[in-house]
């Protein structure tokens, strides 16, 4: 048995904290049905960091929000299941789900600028969230807790008495991280946690998030398109295109050996400091309108290696010999080889 | 060498009035010029609050300097005649950060292009105007039938931003000031937009000032770089040297903070990062309170620019064994523009 085989086996044996099974989230609009998330499946182990990447409109934010059942109407879950510690989140009542949020699955929202109440002191907002999720403590105890939480993310306890406008973007984002990790959730979902932050601050925020992730043993789903950050922070990368997960593998697999033609183009379009390129290359064409998806594989109109089959049959999400998953007809043979 | 666009010892202070006591020195005594005969691509890099957008505003003539002069073709932009001003407005074109905010949602996207055509009387007939618009759209890789007649909300962020580039192009400018042109578009589209900027410089000889916080793209498309910190130039010169071997502790911090997709995974190691203390008014070096290599002298005196190597100046006392740069003009450290040899290297 090779090492890769063993790691595949181990992954199958470990109990995932989160299982997303054939999830479909559709938006019903006047113009028709928009398949924002279409038949997406993945598992998340405790302590694991998964990055979801893709162009805007690829469905990554909808997927992240749907896991918390926070997707906005007219979007709704059409099918599939979301299991947290083996228990379906779709069976819960709205009130039960509300208690799961923050305590079990928490969100670090995009644009920290707008996520905080501008007329409430930071400390009160943090306490408010905790009370709302069933924490019962005396005023004094809450105050010590807030101090602890703020110190944990490297903020001065005095921040508790401040209003959001008195904080910088990075400080606000850290307040959100402090709140999101307060109840030691099982899964933390971070939706573009560092957009609009400067590089130095971005690094500070991610170091803080990473440290808290290790301390609490939570799993993290990080959504965004900053590929460099994902490469440095995540353990695995899931590439989304037109509502589907088209590739899922370890950072090493996806960055060094991307399999799906879209992942290849995406990875190639990321500039680096290694060498100056004669020409910067983007991805040709435009992402498809989700309302009118191409038949077969959604990427075939832009794909440099499209084959006749690609416009007819949607490629299955299949496991490669090294354990990564890819949805592309180019690998139909490889798969057959493994099975034989 | 005659300067096309020039900043002469420009300082911009915000606030400090009777009602707003907090004085912010956004740009602190910067001298900088773009040579007429040498179209180049320069990056103005720095974090938010470094003064890079103020600097761009000063160069565009929309922000009036507190001290110093902004010159275009040797003429003070504040003392221009009507005709000169019009020429200045035409030849120095901005491209803004937000491809959403610049459009009026009630007008079709090409309205912006048509206004430019009629305002500057670029065409004598409607058909000619249309031809010009189509030509400009073509240069940035857009098809006219995909864009003309559409409303802004029907276009993607990348398309909208490329229309902005096309608009700038229509006016046949000599300088384009691009203020974070790709920070709000998808990573996969960034490359396309930056590539079209680079080809404008290469093929049409337009000087481009690329204002950004993203050192990676700055490194990829520019020849020279000016690193700003709190309104002062801390390091400037050849982009190859500045990024690959940064000398100023601030530039070092910036370069180290960039997450590299293919790099070694050590980005998350906690290092000597200190936060900024906004309220503090530093007498000496403005980076002193965050600098890991801070010395006694840094608190007392602002460092002059030292010529660390022929194409680089660094404002830091760590290099006081090197000669002080004689000229105040930041651009004197720049490497001369390499004429584009038709793809000699791969």
* Interchain CB distance below 8 Å, B186 and A55: yes
Token pair 């720049």 in the structure block, residue: B334
Residue A161 pLDDT > 60: yes
Least confident of A19-28, A201-210, B330-339: B330-339
* Interchain CB distance below 8 Å, B259 and A229: yes
- Residue-wise pLDDT for A288-317, tens only, equals 777 788 889 999 999 999 999 999 999 999
- Cβ atoms B249, B316 nearer than 8 A: yes
DSSP track, A229-250 = HHHHH-SEEEEEETTEEEEEEE
- Cβ atoms A257, A266 nearer than 8 A: no
Helices (H), B235-344: 239-244, 249-257, 296-300
Residue count of chain A, please give it.
340
Report the distance separating Cα A108 and Cα A131, nearest Å.
Answer: 18
pLDDT value, residue A144: 92
Give the pLDDT mean for A164-189.
Answer: 88
Residue A7 pLDDT > 60: no
What is the band of A111 on the pLDDT scale with cuts at 50, 70, 90?
low
* Nearest partner of A229 among A248, A247, A205, A264, judged by Cα: A205
pLDDT value, residue A339: 41
- Cβ atoms A208, A177 nearer than 8 A: yes
Q: Note whether B22 contacts A: Cβ–Cβ < 8 A.
A: no
Report the distance separating Cα B262 and Cα B285, nearest Å.
Answer: 35
Report the distance separating Cα B245 and Cα B43, nearest Å.
Answer: 17
Contacts 24+ apart (CB under 8 A), B95-98: B95/B161, B95/B164, B95/B165, B95/B168, B95/B176, B95/B177, B95/B178, B95/B179, B95/B181, B96/B164, B96/B179, B96/B181, B97/B179, B97/B180, B97/B181, B97/B183, B97/B184, B98/B184
* Interchain CB distance below 8 Å, B260 and A231: yes
* Interchain CB distance below 8 Å, A279 and B195: yes
Assessment of whether the complete model's pTM goes beyond 0.90: no
Distance between A218 CA and the closest CA of chain B, angstroms? 17
| Torsion sign, CA atoms A97, A102, A107, A113 | positive
Counting runs of H as helices and runs of E as strands, what totals does chain A give? Answer: 12, 12
What is the band of B345 on the pLDDT scale with cuts at 50, 70, 90?
very low
Residue B132 pLDDT > 70: yes
- CA nearest to A226 within chain B: B187
Q: Note whether B154 contacts A: Cβ–Cβ < 8 A.
A: no
* Interchain CB distance below 8 Å, A282 and B189: yes
Give the pLDDT mean for B102-124.
Answer: 85
Q: Give chain B positions within 8 Å (CB) of A210.
A: 268
Give the pLDDT mean for A270-284.
Answer: 81
Report the distance separating Cα B245 and Cα B262, nearest Å.
Answer: 19
Residue B39 pLDDT > 90: no
- CA nearest to B267 within chain A: A232
Question: Alpha carbon of A106 to those of A67, A98, A179, A190, B115: distances in Å?
Answer: 10, 11, 9, 8, 49
Distance between A55 CA and the closest CA of chain B, angstroms? 6
Distance between A197 CA and the closest CA of chain B, angstroms? 8
What is the band of A270 on the pLDDT scale with cuts at 50, 70, 90?
confident
* Interchain CB distance below 8 Å, B221 and A267: no
- Residue-wise pLDDT for A55-105, tens only, equals 878 888 899 999 999 888 888 999 999 999 999 999 999 999 988 988 899
What is the band of B203 on the pLDDT scale with cuts at 50, 70, 90?
confident
* Interchain CB distance below 8 Å, B270 and A207: yes
Residue B117 pLDDT > 60: yes
pLDDT value, residue B277: 53
* Interchain CB distance below 8 Å, A271 and B259: no
Residue B271 pLDDT > 80: no
- Residue-wise pLDDT for B226-254, tens only, equals 999 989 999 999 999 999 999 999 999 99
Percent of the residues in chain A that have a pLDDT greater than 70, as a whole number: 93
3-state secondary structure of B99: coil
- Residue-wise pLDDT for A21-58, tens only, equals 999 999 988 888 888 999 999 999 999 999 999 887 88
What is the band of A120 on the pLDDT scale with cuts at 50, 70, 90?
very high
* Nearest partner of A183 among A206, A149, A151, judged by Cα: A149
A116: DSSP letter = S
* Nearest partner of A186 among A275, A298, A102, A61, judged by Cα: A102
Which residues are bridge partners to B71 per DSSP? B6, B76
pLDDT value, residue A230: 92
Residue A2 pLDDT > 60: no
Least confident of A225-234, A292-301, B329-338: B329-338
* Interchain CB distance below 8 Å, B262 and A231: yes
Does B344 or B41 have the greater pLDDT score? B41
What is the band of B335 on the pLDDT scale with cuts at 50, 70, 90?
confident
Q: Note whether B194 contacts A: Cβ–Cβ < 8 A.
A: yes
Question: Alpha carbon of A11 to those of A16, A320, B49, B266: distances in Å?
Answer: 8, 14, 46, 25
What is the band of A4 on the pLDDT scale with cuts at 50, 70, 90?
very low
Residue A6 pLDDT > 70: no
Confidence check on the interface: ipTM exceeds 0.85, yes or no: no
Report the distance separating Cα A25 and Cα A193, nearest Å.
Answer: 23
Question: Alpha carbon of B66 to those of A106, A228, B329: distances in Å?
Answer: 48, 40, 19
Report the distance separating Cα B251 and Cα B235, nearest Å.
Answer: 7
How does strand A105-108 pair with strand A187-191? Answer: parallel
- CA nearest to B341 within chain A: A278
pLDDT value, residue B21: 65
pLDDT value, residue B270: 65
- Cβ atoms B137, B129 nearer than 8 A: no
- Residue-wise pLDDT for B59-81, tens only, equals 998 899 999 999 999 889 888 89
Distance between B179 CA and the closest CA of chain A, angstroms? 15
Report the distance separating Cα A170 and Cα B302, nearest Å.
Answer: 28
3-state secondary structure of A50: strand
pLDDT value, residue B344: 38
């Amino acid at each position: 048995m090779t090492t890769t085989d063993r790691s595949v086996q181990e992954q199958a044996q470990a109990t995932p904290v989160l299982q997303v099974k054939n999830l479909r989230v559709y938006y019903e609009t006047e113009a028709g049905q928009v398949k924002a998330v279409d038949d997406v499946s993945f598992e998340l182990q405790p302590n694991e960091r998964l990055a979801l990447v893709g162009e805007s409109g690829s469905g990554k934010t909808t997927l992240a929000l749907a896991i918390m059942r926070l997707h906005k109407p007219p979007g709704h879950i059409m099918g599939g299941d979301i299991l947290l510690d083996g228990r379906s989140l779709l069976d819960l009542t709205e009130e039960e789900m509300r208690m799961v949020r923050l305590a079990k699955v928490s969100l670090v929202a995009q644009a920290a600028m707008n996520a905080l109440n501008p007329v409430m002191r930071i400390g009160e907002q943090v306490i408010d969230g905790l009370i709302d999720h069933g924490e019962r403590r005396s005023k004094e105890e809450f105050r010590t807790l807030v101090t602890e939480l703020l110190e944990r993310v490297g903020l001065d306890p005095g921040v508790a008495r401040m209003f959001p406008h008195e904080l910088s973007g990075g400080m606000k984002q850290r307040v959100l991280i402090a709140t999101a990790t307060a109840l030691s959730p099982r899964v933390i979902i971070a939706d573009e946690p560092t957009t609009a932050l400067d590089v130095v601050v971005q690094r500070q925020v991610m170091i803080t998030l990473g440290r808290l992730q290790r301390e609490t043993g939570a799993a993290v789903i990080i959504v965004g398109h900053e590929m460099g950050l994902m490469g440095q922070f995540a353990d695995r990368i899931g590439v989304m295109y037109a509502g589907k997960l088209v590739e899922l593998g370890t950072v090493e697999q996806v960055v060094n050996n991307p399999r799906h033609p879209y992942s290849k183009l995406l990875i190639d379009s990321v500039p680096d400091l290694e060498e100056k390129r004669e020409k910067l290359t983007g991805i040709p064409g435009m992402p498809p309108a989700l309302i009118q998806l191409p038949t077969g594989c959604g990427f075939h109109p832009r794909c440099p290696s499209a084959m006749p089959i690609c416009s007819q049959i949607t490629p299955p999400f299949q496991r490669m010999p090294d354990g990564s998953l890819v949805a592309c007809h180019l690998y139909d043979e490889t798969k057959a080889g493994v099975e034989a | 060498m005659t300067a096309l666009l020039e900043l002469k010892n420009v300082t911009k202070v915000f606030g400090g009035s009777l009602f707003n006591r907090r004085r912010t020195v956004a740009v602190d005594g910067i001298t900088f010029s773009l040579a007429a005969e040498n179209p180049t691509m320069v990056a103005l890099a720095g974090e938010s609050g470094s003064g890079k957008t103020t600097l761009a505003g000063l160069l565009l003539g929309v922000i009036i300097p507190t001290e110093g002069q902004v010159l275009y073709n040797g003429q003070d932009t504040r003392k221009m005649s009507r005709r000169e001003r019009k020429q200045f407005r035409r030849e120095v074109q901005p491209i803004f950060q937000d491809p959403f905010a610049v459009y009026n949602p009630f007008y079709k996207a090409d309205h912006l292009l048509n206004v430019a055509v009629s305002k500057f009387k670029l065409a004598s007939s409607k058909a000619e105007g249309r031809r010009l618009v189509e030509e400009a759209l073509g240069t940035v890789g857009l098809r006219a039938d995909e864009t003309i007649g559409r409303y802004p909300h029907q276009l993607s962020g990348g398309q909208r931003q490329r229309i902005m580039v096309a608009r700038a192009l229509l006016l046949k400018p000599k300088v384009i000031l691009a203020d974070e042109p790709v920070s709000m578009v998808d990573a996969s589209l960034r490359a396309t937009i930056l590539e079209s900027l680079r080809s404008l410089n290469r093929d049409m000889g337009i000087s481009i000032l690329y204002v950004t916080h993203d050192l990676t793209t700055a490194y990829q498309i520019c020849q020279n770089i000016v690193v700003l910190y709190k309104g002062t130039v801390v390091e400037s010169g050849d982009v190859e040297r500045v990024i690959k071997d940064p000398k100023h502790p601030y530039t070092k911090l910036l370069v180290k903070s960039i997450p590299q997709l293919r790099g070694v995974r050590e980005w998350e190691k906690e290092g000597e990062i200190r936060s900024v203390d906004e309220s503090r008014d530093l007498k000496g070096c403005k980076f002193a309170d965050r600098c890991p290599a801070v010395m006694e002298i840094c608190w007392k005196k602002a460092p002059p620019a030292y010529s660390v190597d022929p194409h680089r100046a660094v404002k830091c006392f760590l290099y006081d064994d090197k000669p002080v740069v004689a000229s105040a003009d930041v651009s004197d450290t720049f490497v001369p523009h390499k004429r584009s040899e038709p793809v000699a290297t791969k």
